[in-house]
Amino acid sequence: MAVAISAMALLPVLGLLLLVLWMGFWQNGPGEPIIYTTSHYRKIFTDAFTYKTFLNTVGFATTAVLVALFFAIPLAWLVERTSLPGKSLILAIVTLGALLPTFFTAMGWVFLLHPRIGIINRFLMDTFGLAQAPLNVASIVGMGWVEGLGLSSIAFVMIVATYRSMDPSLEEAARVHGLGIFRTLVYVTLPLTFPGILAASIYVFTIALSAFEVPAIIGMSNKIFTFATFIFYKIQPLEELPSYGVAGAVSTILIILALLLSWSYFRLLRFSQRYAVVTGKAYRPQPIELGSKGCILAWSFLGFYFTVAKVLPLLLLVWAALLRYFQPPSWAALAQVSMNNFYGLPWKLLLHGAWNTLLLMLAVPTLTLFLCLAISWTVLRSGVRFRVLFDAVAFLPHAVPHLILAIATMFAALFLLRNVVPLYGSLMILVFVYTISRISFATRIINNSLAQIHPELEEAAFVGGLKLLQVMRKILIPLLKPALVYAWIWMALLCYRELTMASVLVTSQANVTLPMIVWGLWLGGSLNQAAAANLVVLICMLPIVLLYFIFGRRRRIAESA
Amino acid sequence: MISIAGLSKNFRGNDRAVAALRSVDLKVNRGEFFVLLGPSGSGKTTLLRAIAGLEKPDQGEISLDGKIVYSRSRGLCAAPEERQVGMVFQSYAIWPHLTVAENIGLVLTHGRLRLSKKEAAERIRHSLSLVQLQDFAARPAHLLSGGQQQRVALARALAINPALVLMDEPLSNLDARLREEVRANIKKLAVQIGMTVLYVTHDQIEAMVLADRIAVMAHGEILQIGKPAELYRQPASALVAEFFGSINWIRGIAHGNNRVETELGPLWVADSRHCHGAVIVGVRPEDVHLQQSSNENENRIEGKVRSSVFLGDQIVSEIEVRGKILIAKGSPDDGEPSDTAFVYLPRERLVVFSDRVPSNSLG
């Protein structure tokens, strides 16, 4: 039965991928007679715009990786290897950072670095008498900077894991035999953590390659496209007709790229683990004393990071939310501060969106855990012949950009299932695609925990006469509970902030979600109202974050990597 | 060479502090092979790491070669790289991204000595020859077997000609046969070079084979320091006695005059450290002699042989004496013991401690 459930969960994943492939060869739009063609591919490979978008995307992702590493490597080293006080606070804040919706910081940075209204630009122009804005967030580097700030949390968690898996006596041996702190860092620590850092870079690069939120919020209105926004634009263009064939072809290329990157990521990860020596000794090394000068330097760096990654965008959003028109802080502006943006918010829509979001947060994690429990059991315990295949397919939603999953789902609902199930525009379609997209994450977590439970614990119950369902309920689920609780809360939080997939599939009031309302206001040009709505959304998120810190925090988010 | 006074260290756990070292005093002489012996959690590794500078103690003083490297009262704590010691780690800590020669070379060229490449090459060759690994110089270190890595670790520790070499359970990850071979090699090298070694282990056989002197540690304290034979024959406490192999314990009341009224009857003892009140008398299995008949009375008691197992080089028997089971080890040449026998416990082989239940936390 478990095998049947996992097959049911995984078939749609394969189905969606095949659909994307198929879509890329359609000459005309759906509804018309199907004529196959390779013209989309020909067009893509001959069009200068494709190459420009490709360069944009690679530039954007590379900048994001560099920014993320610039912050993550020193932070991880400080937390793992030094006596810096307040480490648990740093860990908590960085974890929190991973939860902060990217569209949130993206909007904050628009107010900071927009060539016309950005206050940093205005400040620099006024101070140095410049005619033009020196910085532009609506550029490849600007967007990469914002994306990199968002991804620095994930990079941090992964690099911390690299430090932890390294035998600390490798560094101690260098110290004892006369290499100082700096030489140890250069000749031992960095070379040994290099494969791990490279793996983290590829992982972050893969995410940035198909990232949607930052390019959508900053780039699209300025006609700067990356692959993700380009695909989106082909599906929901402003002027012309949707071009599903081109979207399908570009998506296929992007999927192949992402799969290649994921493959090299796993290769590298295995390579880096070759260096991880299991010592059998569970001691934590004596941390390096920083001294007062070092502490000041370290905290300045931390302060800078938290300011640019979290505090500044937040302050700017608050400031923007309080103004009718955005302007740099001044006495004159201060006089205009009011709560009007909040009063003017579409509260009825917001309430509706909140209700939908709440339903999603309850349904998606529950359904995902149910399915993934079956998948994990199939992979690790059933002994079915093709269980490796199950594992591989369960990994696909991680590698495939979520935007593409959503597009394929929309395509299926609109043109294949239209007369069978009325999914299009319903909340169900969001439940479906959100669940599909989280299968990799949940399977990984349950796999990790299930692998640590000795099969004899279940076998003893089987021998004692319990049936599979009872064994699940009485033995496995109680033992897996910490992992399940953690995964549930984390997925609920991801549901709450999900914008990418919603942007394709939310088509009516019936299935509108909170992030979509914020985005809608933003696209409509009411930046200040969007800022206000964003703050409301963020405040509503706090209770769940609290829940995460109470119940889920004991497990490290490293597992999500 | 090493001089330690009043050294204390607490580890702060989740809810309470655990004392890893409680005011430890220790002196190790130049050229000595000194072993710290104790079960896991006894503080022996913490002591070693504190000497290396990898752990910062809370109290006390450490000096190496007459130079103070740690002193709480003077607010002094030298960094590991300033202490001029060599160290062999339990995991060997061989840098997997370097070759065998580079593992040693890094220490020579970038460590305290800052040798030129040419000078280093000569030293690398010499130290590899000490451990018979000359032919492996260019091999990537992570391709070596455990035993080879162990030898590279030893060569690296010796390469800088340290006055003191610290070894943290260097043999515990080797299989039994290899362990004996490497053990003999380490001892030979130590004598050959005349180096001072501080060696941590939980294996009492290893300790007895290697050590000039042994310090037995438990619960962060040094229980006894002495030569191997002293610790075996004249343990300072029941804990030490148990740690050096199995022993039979007999309860009794001491009345002075080297006479103890025990549960087996009166026993004469030579050990006069505890001659009054409740005591326990300890006797090792090999000192429990079985005799068919007896003309003398001293320390001879009749008992029944309950079982007896032939182990090739010895026979181990369980003998019931007045309701108590004693373990005896004898030579197979003495023949199979008969059903009843006299147990003879030589008085000079009996150790006496004031009575408290011998802790099984050791062993």
Q: Give the pLDDT confidence of A105-140 residue by residue, as tens digits.
A: 899 999 998 888 888 888 888 888 888 888 888 899
Residues B300 and B157 in one domain: no
The count of domains in chain B is 2
Higher-pLDDT residue of A184 and A550 is: A184
Least confident interval from B86-90, B103-107, B166-170, B291-295: B291-295
From B95, B97, B160, residue closest to A178, measured CB to CB = B160
Domain ranges across chain A? 2-25+51-560
Residues above pLDDT 90, as percent of chain A: 29
CB A493 within 8 A of CB A545: yes
Which of A102-106, A382-386, B40-44 is predicted least confidently? A382-386
Is there a single domain that holds both residue B258 and residue B233?
Answer: no
- B146 plus B216 within the same structural domain: yes
Q: What is the pLDDT of residues B247-284, one digit of tens each?
A: 999 999 988 788 888 988 888 888 878 778 889 999 99
CA distance A280 to chain B (A): 9
Last residue of a domain, one of B204, B238, B272: B238
Is B49 exposed, middle or buried, given 0-12, 13-18 or 19+ CB atoms closer than 10 A? buried
* pLDDT confidence of residue A273: 65
pLDDT above 70: residue B113? yes
Q: Which of residues 35-54 of B touch A (CB under 8 A)?
A: 49, 52-54
Residues in chain A: 561
pLDDT level of residue A466 (50, 70, 90 thresholds): confident
DSSP assignment of B246-306 equals: --EEEEEEEESTTEEEETTEEEE-S--S--EEEEEEEE-GGG-EEES--S--TTEEEEEEE
Spell out the residues 6+ positions from residue A396 whose beta carbon is closer than 8 angstroms to its own.
A13, A14, A17, A440
**Sign of the C-alpha dihedral, residues B142, B143, B147, B153?**
negative
Cβ contact (<8 Å) for A176 and B53? yes
Distance CA A540, CA A210 (A): 28
Give the pTM. 0.81
> Does residue A142 carry a pLDDT above 90?
yes
Are B75 and B186 in the same domain? yes
Range of the domain at B275: 246-354
- pLDDT value at B338 more than 80: no
Helix, coil or strand: residue A453:
coil
CATH number of residue B217's parent domain? 3.40.50.300
ipTM value, please give it: 0.80
> In terms of Cα–Cα distance, which of B129, B104, B128, B131 is closest to B115?
B104
How far apart, in whole angstroms, are the C-alpha atoms of residue B128 and residue B143?
A: 17
Residues in chain B with CB shorter than 8 Å from the CB of A286 are 49, 54-56
Given a cut of 60, is residue B358 above it in pLDDT?
no
Q: Which two tokens stand for residue B318?
A: 């369980």
| C-alpha span between B89 and A439 (Å, rounded) | 43
Mean of per-residue pLDDT scores for chain A: 86
Shared domain check, B348 and B207: no
Is the CATH number 1.10.510.10 carried by domain A2-25+51-560?
no
Higher pLDDT, A26 or B215: B215
Does B233 share its domain with B255? Answer: no
CB contact under 8 A, B111 and A173: no
Paired residues of B166 in beta bridges: B87, B198
Helices and strands in chain B, H and E counts: 8, 21
Cβ of A286 under 8 Å from any chain B Cβ? yes
| B228 and B245 Cβ atoms separated by less than 8 Å | no
Asked if B86 has any chain A CB less than 8 Å from its own CB, the reply is: yes
Q: What pLDDT shows up at residue B360? A: 46
User: In this structure, is residue B363 part of a structural domain?
Assistant: no
Q: Reduce the DSSP state of residue A348 to 3 states and report it.
A: helix
Q: Tell whether B180 and B328 lie within a shared domain.
A: no
Whether residue B194 lies inside any domain: the answer is yes
B160 touches chain A (CB under 8 A): yes
Nearest CA in chain B to A273: B96
Are B186 and B332 members of one domain?
no
Is A191–B97 a contact, with Cβ atoms under 8 angstroms apart?
yes
B293 or B202, higher pLDDT:
B202
- Where does chain B have alpha helices with state H? 44-52, 100-110, 117-130, 146-159, 176-193, 204-210, 228-233, 238-243
Stretch B311-340: mean pLDDT: 85
CA distance A134 to A140: 15
Give buried/exposed letters for A319-329 (b at 16+ CB in 10 A, else e): bbbbbeebeee
Domain boundary, last residue among B215, B238, B261: B238
Task: Specify the range with the lowest mean pLDDT, choosing from A260-274, B173-187, B230-244, B316-330.
Answer: A260-274
User: What is residue A335's predicted lDDT score, i.e. its pLDDT?
Assistant: 84
Instruction: Fill in the amino acid letter for A455.
Output: P
Size of interface A-B (CB pairs under 8 A): 90
Q: In what order do the strands lie in the sheet with B340-344?
A: B289-291, B340-344, B300-310, B315-321, B324-330
pLDDT at A283 (0 to 100): 55
Residues B176 and B258 in one domain: no
Please report whether residue B226 resides in a domain. Answer: yes
Q: Tell me the range of A400-404, A414-418, B26-30 where mean pLDDT is highest.
A: B26-30
Q: Taking CB atoms and an 8 Å limit, are B87 and A177 in contact across chains?
A: yes
DSSP symbol at B16:
S
Distance separating alpha carbons of residues A457 and A450, to the nearest angstrom: 11
Indicate the residue among B238, B259, B288 that finishes a domain: B238
Helices A2-23, A402-411: axis angle to 10 degrees equals: 90
Question: Cβ–Cβ of A178/B107 closer than 8 Å?
Answer: yes
Judge whether residue A1 has pLDDT over 80: no
Task: Measure the CA–CA gap between A254 and A401, rounded to whole angstroms.
Answer: 8
The residues pairing with B289 across neighbouring beta strands, listed in sequence order, are B344
- Per-residue pLDDT, A104: 87
Residue A291 touches chain B, beta carbons under 8 Å = no
pLDDT for A559 equals 41
Q: Which residues of A touch B54 (CB under 8 A)?
A: 172, 175-176, 285-286
Q: Are residues B228 and B283 in the same domain?
A: no
Average pLDDT over every residue of A220-240: 87
Is there a domain that residue B43 lies in? yes
